[in-house]
Structure 1
């Protein structure tokens, strides 16, 4: 039985990945920060097969202890301070966790390999936010990185550190440059879930509208459940490498609103959506669209859930949650 360690296991990607690995017969370990983490109890209820370990990306000793305990064949580093808007408010913490935390995880894995001689494959969750002020459309693995937020800068550090450990120590360390991926498990602070929850509440007459920032920003949105399969496929390859994971299609916030409101039978949402400058970024990323042809050719990976199916899935989920 293979063993896998997932950091960030309580996030949407961590939960979907844990399910995938469990279905494939893995023994799954999840790293959770803090003794009183409410997500820890939720994870224990929804994913009882995950063996929970305590650790913190800022505490190298705790990471070494966790890796030594579970002796993983594969490590998936998904943990990060992942909300882009928050990163301007807490640039230092974002940099330490999202950037420095990758270095700590790589060191913990390298220490374990040096000590035991056991090979470990490492996955780093890189981000399309690294492209920022895009220098090429669509973006691919070779596109120049020009991040436009502290989050993006931290992700670039982690991305290049993963490449450095691969080249310096021969580690099987791969990075998935994932474009925006959503699901009903997405946090309410992210725009897709903010919209789906608001539309559900409007449908149930619990609120009248919602406030958003830049409606013209465009993203390449996919389903998180599809994207975790790509993570796994990367670590099954004989050689480590970096891959863009995306749908290759771009949609604006306006497109998102069109589909979400159409799910509840509303064709004109303009009177329900207010523009609020507080939700605009200091430095906006206007257009992200990925070229995942390498992943399709090498990994045999393709996304299955379309943008429209994804948004409708999220709205239906949030309506069902309100009804429960």
Structure 2
């Protein structure tokens, strides 16, 4: 039985990845932060794997800010695969807490990569780093590929770029099997409620139900490449099953404005978003990323991966899920 460790297991991607690995027969370990409130709603449905004879899911307290806990955990577990998904991942918030974002999202990757070396598992383990399309920022080419120059436009993107290049550096310096997945925006009903797509789908559902009147947004003209998170974690796993480590873009090769996402989401419940969406300049970023569109040709050719869900289908399934969540159980 292969053993995988996931940082950020309670997040959107971590929960879908845990599901996938458990389906494939893995023993799955996740790092969770200690807090006064429990934040495990995305993995509550996996409790059947936490108990009894079928126990294959283990949660461990730890933090990417604590290198000692990482070394101890890796030495104890001896995992076959590590998926580093943990981060302070909100781009707008990263302007408010740049030091924390750099420490967790950037230096955190250094800590776990160094823990791989210090725990002595470097020769056996396969490591995945969650890189981001935000690293392209002020894009230097359209569409963006694995070789497009980076131009980060936020503290979050700068921290992700640090983690990305550290992964390359440790791969070349220590001969680690280390891959980076440069994932473009990927959403789902499990997306955090502060992210724009989920803010939109929740608002559409609540306004339709008479529970909310308005939705406040910032820049709705920016263009993004949106895919379905559940499909993207399959690409992560495939990267670590290859003969040689490499970096891959996962995307849909389509770009849409937030206005278009609003059209689909509100249209799904028979509403016109123009009647409800208000502008709030506090939600603008100090430096904007205007256009992201990724070319996934390399992932398609080498991994056999391609997206099945595009923006329209994604927005509709998210709205449907948020509407269902409001109905009496």
Q: Distance in 1 between matches of 2:229 and 2:99?
A: 28
Which residue of structure 1 lines up, in the alignment, with residue 17 of structure 2? 17
Q: What does residue 34 of structure 1 align with?
A: 34
SS at match of 1:211: strand
Cross-structure match for 1:260:
265
Partner residue of 2:136 out of 131, 138, 152: 131
Q: Compared with structure 1, are the counterparts of its residues 44 and 84 closer, same or farther at alpha carbon in structure 2 (3 Å cutoff)?
A: closer
The two structures have a TM-score, normalised by structure 2, of 0.95
CA distance in structure 1 between the aligned counterparts of 2:43 and 2:288, rounded to whole angstroms? 38
Equivalent pair of 2:7/2:32 in contact (CA under 8 Å): yes
Instruction: Tell me what 2:46 maps to.
Output: 47
- Alignment gaps of 5+ in structure 1: none
Structure-to-structure mapping, 1:6-155, within 5 angstroms: 6-34=6-34, 36-40=36-40, 42=41, 45-48=44-47, 49=49, 50-113=57-120, 119-155=124-160
Which residue matches 1:284?
Answer: 288
C-alpha distance 63-37 of structure 1, shift in aligned 2 (>3 A): farther
More displaced 10-residue stretch of structure 1: 139-148 or 48-57: 48-57
CA shift for structure 1 position 45: 2.8
Structure 2: segments with no counterpart, 5+ residues: 50-56
Are 1:306 and 2:313 counterparts?
A: no
- Measure the CA separation in 1 of the matches of 2:266 and 2:144: 30
CA contact (8 A) 1:76 1:124 kept: yes
Verify: 1:222 aligned to 2:227, yes or no.
Answer: yes
- 1: CA distance, partners of 2:298 / 2:166: 22
TM-score, normalised relative to structure 1:
0.96
Moved more, 44-53 or 68-77: 44-53
Aligned partner of residue 146 in structure 1, secondary structure: coil
Q: Is the 8 A contact 1:213 1:279 kept in 2?
A: yes
Secondary structure of the equivalent of 2:74? helix
Maintained 8 Å contact 2:65/2:103: yes
Residue range with higher mean Cα deviation, 47-56 or 91-100: 47-56
Match of 2:53 in 1: none
Which residue of structure 1 lines up, in the alignment, with residue 174 of structure 2? 169
The aligned residue for residue 52 of structure 2 is none
The aligned length equals 320
> Does the residue aligned with 1:176 lie in a helix, a strand or coil?
strand
Instruction: Give how far 1:154 is off.
Output: 0.2
Does structure 1 conserve the Cα–Cα contact (< 8 Å) formed by 2:6 and 2:85? yes
- Is 2:230 aligned against 1:231? no
Find runs of 4+ consecutive structure 1 residues off by over 2 angstroms. 42-45
CA distance in 1: counterparts of 2:318 and 2:42, whole angstroms: 20
Q: CA deviation at 1:112?
A: 2.2
CA positional deviation for 1:44: 6.1
Report which stretch shifted further, 161-170 or 29-38. 29-38
- Offset of 1:321 from its aligned partner? 0.8
Kept after mapping to 1: 8 A contact 2:91/2:156: yes
Task: Give the distance between the partners of 2:178 and 2:59, measured in 1 at CA.
Answer: 23
Q: Deviations over 1:223-265 (max 9, x none)?
A: 0000000000000001100001000000100000000011101
CA contact (8 A) 1:140 1:290 kept: yes
CA contact (8 A) 2:205 2:323 kept: yes
Is the 1:54–1:66 contact (alpha carbons within 8 Å) kept by the matching residues of 2?
A: no
